[in-house]
Structure 1
Amino acid sequence: MNKLVILDRDGVINQDSDAYVKSVEEWIPIPGSAEAIARLCKAGYQVAVATNQSGLGRGYFSQSDLDAMHAKMIDLIEAAGGELAGIFYCPHTPEEHCDCRKPLPGLIHQIERHLGVSAEGALMVGDSLRDLQAGQACGCRAALVLTGKGQRTLDKGEGLEQASIYKDLKSLVNELLN
């Protein structure tokens, strides 16, 4: 079994906002998410983050704001005893037609290259269909969490035939490790 877990950020690790998460103050962890990531690490999994951050390209926040949000996330995960294998983000707007904006698999390919592993059989965890589609394009198993936009995604019901569904990241990790 592939011991790589790829997580979307907003709505999976931290609370999401339709107005974008724009600052370290707005970056609020979902209860239990940092501890869940630490448990995965302690169980021998590599955990990477793949996140669309078009707010950067749209000018809603700066690179230093994004760096501060990621530093906060890393600090919380490390305080819980975990470590991220990497944070990979797409700064582009949809109009830029890049290959890294999910649902395209560019971020997953970056993770594969950086870690020297295949994502085939890895677990892709997201709260939107585009997260799952990016992972599935690389042979990942799909898991939808109902935090963030997850409930809205579930209510639409499209494209979730292959996905496992969990209340939140903590519930997913509890089931995966038990």
Structure 2
Amino acid sequence: MLSADTLVILDRDGVINHDSDNYIKSLDEWVPYPTSITAIARLTHAGYTVAVATNQSGIARGYYDEATLHTMHEHLVRLVTSESGHIAHIAYCPHGPDDNCRCRKPLPGMLLNIQQHLGLASLTGSWMVGDSLRDLQAGEAVGCKTVLVRTGKGVKTEQKALVLKKPRSSMI
């Protein structure tokens, strides 16, 4: 039986696959990190349910369409399945930053979509894994434990967080 504490929600770009400031616009550009597919399968084997929550504003910007996004996600699912893993649900936000939607991270709409899709009463105690502050903020908004990875934008995010946490007297 699925419980919130066995749910791991992953951001996509920068966590599962290489990210690009120019957007991942095609299956050819979608390149998974060398160990990410195996890691998802290992989570599955360990009894975790894995879901994905990904901002995809490239759709709103006209860089690619939803059919292309679905092709990338189908490929991801095939790769994970080939290692006996499973992705329970992929939620995505196709909106741009100025569209005032409720799903774009740092808002928790996609995570709530995952919660509803999986039939969970709450996401408290689930895990949200991301490479940006907005990923962590979305997770925190619904009670997830959050993990910042150092892939993708993770190192830059970590450096920004360290600068913000420094006492004023040590700042130059």
In 2, the alpha carbon distance for the partners of 1:84 and 1:101 equals 20
Change (3 A) 1:101 1:134: same
For the 8 Å contact 1:129–1:159, the answer to whether it is kept is no
RMSD across aligned positions (CA): 1.6
- One-letter amino acid of the counterpart of residue 114, structure 1: H
Distance 1:6 1:45 in 2: 10
Change in Cα spacing, 1:46 to 1:95, as seen in structure 2 (3 Å) is: same
Q: Which protein shows a greater Rg?
A: 2
Give the distance between the partners of 2:164 and 2:44, measured in 1 at CA: 27
Letter in 2 for 1:155: Q
What stretches of structure 2 of length at least 5 have no aligned partner?
Answer: 166-172
Contact 1:90/1:100 (CA < 8 Å) preserved in 2? yes
Q: 1:158 to 1:82 in 2, by over 3 A?
A: same
- 1:6 corresponds to which residue? 9
TM value normalised by structure 1: 0.87
Task: Report percent identity of matched pairs.
Answer: 57
Deviations 1:100-150 (A, max 9, x none): 000000001001100011211101000000000000000000100000000
TM-score where L is the length of structure 2 = 0.90
Equivalent residue number for residue 49 of structure 2: 46
Following TM superposition, by how much is the alpha carbon of 1:64 offset from its aligned partner in structure 2, in angstroms? 1.4
**Any residues of structure 2 matched to 1:1-178 within 5 Å, and which?**
2-117=5-120, 118-157=122-161
CA distance in 2, matches of 1:160, 1:120: 27
Any gaps of 5 or more consecutive residues in structure 1? Answer: 162-178
Mark the CA change 1:33 to 1:94 in structure 2 (over 3 Å): closer, same or farther.
same
Cα distance in 1, alignment partners of residues 162 and 19 from structure 2: 21
- Count of residues paired in the alignment: 161
- SS at structure 2 position matched to 1:74: helix
Question: Which whole-Å deviations, capped at 9, do the CAs of 1:2-33 have from their partners, x for residues lacking one?
Answer: 10000000000000000000000000000110
